[in-house]
């Protein structure tokens, strides 16, 4: 069903979401996809904007946990400079990786939110896990080959969602 792909919120970039937005909604941790959400898939070093956002999150005691379908080695290398926890081989769109992260954090589903750039994997997994989700636009326009296949399917799903729901991007969590 198309509702399984509907995000709770749409925000342009992850870095636009401030810690107080998460706190206001009762979130105590943020789960994020890695490639094209937190970092560009082809630039594992991240940006100054990312580092500033992660610093703000740490200052507010809001843990950020990467939940990625990538293998352990790839994710570990990507997040090492940022000193954040991760779940690799999350198997999104299934909810296993998200549930594992929630258990590690010792939080309830209502206390976490998932941020990702893909409807078919990220948002679908968050909805299956019973948590709120935020769809962000991909950081770069290019994708790894596997993601290109998902994007084609995603365009069809997006058009169906847009016919049924207001699918406009906001500049903050309302």
C-alpha to C-alpha distance for 111 and 83, rounded to whole angstroms = 22
Quick one: pLDDT at residue 159?
81
12: CATH: 3.40.50.1000
pTM: 0.92
Band of pLDDT at residue 161, cut at 50, 70 and 90: confident
Task: Decide if 170 is inside a domain.
Answer: no
Mean pLDDT of 48-61: 94
Q: Which DSSP string do the residues of 9-48 spell out, in sequence order? A: EEES-GGG--HHHHHHTT-SEEEE-TBTTTB-TT-TT--H
Residue with tokens 């790894």: 144
Residue 115 lies in a domain: yes
CA 171, 113, 101, 99 dihedral sign is negative
* Distance (Å, whole) CA 151 – CA 128: 20
Quick check: is 85 in a domain?
A: yes
Q: What is the pLDDT of residues 130-142, one digit of tens each?
A: 999 999 998 876 6
Average pLDDT over residues 153-172: 83
- Bridge partner list, 65: 31, 85
Examine residue 126 and state whether it is found in any structural domain, yes or no: yes
- Please give the tally of structural domains in the chain: 1
Residue 171 lies in a domain: no
Torsion of CA 167, 62, 20, 14, to 10 degrees: -30
Mean pLDDT of the chain: 90
Please report the pLDDT score of residue 154 as a whole number. 83
Q: Check residue 8 and report its DSSP letter.
A: S
Domain that holds residue 60: 2-164
Distance from the Cα of residue 2 to its chain's centroid: 19
Question: Does residue 48 register a pLDDT over 60?
Answer: yes
70, pLDDT greater than 60: yes
In a domain? residue 173? no
Whether residue 71 is contained in a domain is answered as yes
Portion of the chain with pLDDT greater than 90, in percent? 64
Output the pLDDT for position 158: 80
Tokens of 87: 């779940």
Whether residue 42 is predicted with pLDDT greater than 70 in this model: the reply is no
Task: Look at residue 151 and tell me if it is in a domain.
Answer: yes
pLDDT at 167: 84
Q: Which of the four pLDDT bands, split at 50, 70 and 90, describes residue 143? A: low
pLDDT value at 145 more than 60: no
Predicted local distance difference test score (pLDDT) of residue 2: 84
């Amino acid at each position: 069903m198309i509702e399984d792909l509907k995000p709770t919120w749409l925000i342009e970039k992850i870095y636009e979401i401030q810690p107080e937005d998460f706190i206001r909604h009762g979130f105590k941790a943020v789960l994020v996809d890695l490639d094209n959400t937190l970092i560009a898939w082809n630039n594992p070093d991240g940006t100054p904007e990312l580092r500033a956002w992660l610093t703000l999150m740490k200052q507010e005691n809001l843990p950020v946990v990467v939940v990625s379908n990538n293998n352990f080695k790839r994710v570990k290398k990507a997040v090492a400079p940022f000193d954040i926890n991760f779940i690799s081989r999350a198997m999104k769109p299934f909810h296993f990786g998200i549930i594992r992260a929630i258990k590690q954090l010792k939080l309830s589903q209502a206390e976490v939110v998932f941020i990702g750039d893909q409807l078919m994997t990220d948002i679908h997994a968050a909805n299956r896990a019973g948590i709120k989700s935020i769809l962000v636009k991909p950081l770069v326009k290019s994708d790894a080959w596997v993601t290109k296949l998902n994007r084609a399917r995603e365009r069809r799903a997006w058009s169906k969602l847009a016919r049924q729901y207001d699918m406009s991007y906001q500049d903050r969590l309302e």
